[in-house]
Amino acid sequence: MPDMIKETLDASQMPLEVAPERKVTGNIAVKAPQPIETPDKYFPMLHGKATDAIAGMSSKNGEKNPISGALTITNKEVKLLISQFNQLTGALGINTHKLLSVGVAQFTAGNNVGGRDTDHLTYNVTIPLKEYALQCGYDVEEHPKDTPEEQEKEAKRASNALKDAQKKVKKDLDILRNSSISWSEKVKGKAGDFLDIAIIGSKGIRKGYIYMVFDPAFAQYLIKLPLTQYPKALLKVDARNGNAYNMGLKMTEHFNMDNNQIKGTAQLLKVSTLLENLDLPSIETVRKTRKSWEERIKEPFENALDVLTQCGLLSDWRYSHSKGLEMTDEEATSFSTYEEWENTLVHFTLADAPDHTLRLEARAEEKKARQAKKTKKKGGK
């Protein structure tokens, strides 16, 4: 195992580039919640309003401060400030969110989720660079060739591909290191205002590993959040397909919510709900320009669904009536108005979806036991 980055309580005082030679750990001896049966194609990951909102942020939609060089982006009432953005070579986008998500997944795995003791957390995470690059679709493996000359050329190509991936990861690390966020959110039933919270306090890439140290305040926020399952298939979505990426996030988070599983609506989402997470023109804008709503909105929407199928997140999708009744091919291709289409349901099937059955059964048994105990207590009075 590689050595880790040293973390102190004041992560903001650490240098931008650190030598990852020491580590900090913490022990929490409390019972963890019932686990979800999750295939290896998903990362269990803590998530909340702030982490979700960052997925829909892009540098191109930000407001630059000409004096300070900072960039401010707002999405879903979450404001992100990137200081000294004018001096950075990278840009905020879905690749930044991918790296953050894998980092949060590693943080989730390294800490006792659901525990009450939040005074002893492991803030630092380690991500193998080559494995991460492969999951993101970079061809960094050396493939067998017929001759020594071809093999030498192939080795150089693979090495250069890994170096290219490392450069892109470094740009995303720089963005995260210079970012702070502000938002309001109810966490564990308590409303709170979070102002100018740094995401990571330090970072680095060394000896084939990516290192990140989460800021203590951000880590304290993370550990109180509910779990979702982040699909590894989304890592392969090209940075230019932001709509597909955000649609995939919405679908997986919706699927992993207990109430949706219990009600049987985990694989159903209204078109209008999905549109809220996409960067597409509004119907009002389209009508003002006298353009076709099918061409400007519906086709990009369906292209995003096709991208999610190609990357392996979805095994199937189709338009449905209420209660999941599948539309015929004729119905699905002959919407008469935009309003009819946006109120239609999308029935989607996640490939190798997490199985919540055992956990939900355990939850139901616990609820039944609590009710029985409460009834018995009342009867004894």
Q: How many CA atoms lie within 13 A of 13 on its CB side?
A: 4
From 315, 319, 348, select the one nearest 39 (Cα to Cα). 315
d(CA 80, CA 57): 9
pLDDT of amino acid 21: 31
d(CA 308, CA 345): 17
**Residue 80 host element (H or E):** strand 78-82
Q: How many CA atoms lie within 13 A of 259 on its CB side?
A: 1
pLDDT of amino acid 39: 52
pLDDT of amino acid 358: 82
pLDDT of amino acid 290: 87
d(CA 33, CA 152): 51
Would you state the structure tokens that stand for residue 364, as one six-digit string? 């139901």
d(CA 347, CA 245): 17
pLDDT of amino acid 304: 97
Give how far Cα 210 sits from Cα of 26, 63, 77, 129, 300, Å: 21, 30, 30, 6, 34
pLDDT of amino acid 3: 37
Domain segments of the chain as ranges: 11-236, 252-358
d(CA 58, CA 278): 12
Residue by residue, pLDDT tens for the chain (381 residues) are 333 333 333 333 333 233 333 233 333 222 333 344 445 889 999 999 999 999 999 999 999 999 999 999 999 999 999 999 999 999 999 999 999 999 999 999 999 877 666 778 999 999 999 999 999 999 999 999 999 999 999 999 999 999 999 999 999 999 999 999 999 999 888 888 999 999 999 999 999 999 999 999 999 999 999 989 999 999 999 999 999 999 999 999 999 998 999 998 999 999 999 999 999 999 999 999 988 999 999 999 999 999 999 999 999 999 998 877 889 999 998 999 999 999 999 999 999 888 888 888 887 788 888 887 777 777 665
∠230-236-239 over CA atoms, to 5°?
100
From 94, 93, 56, select the one nearest 75 (Cα to Cα). 56
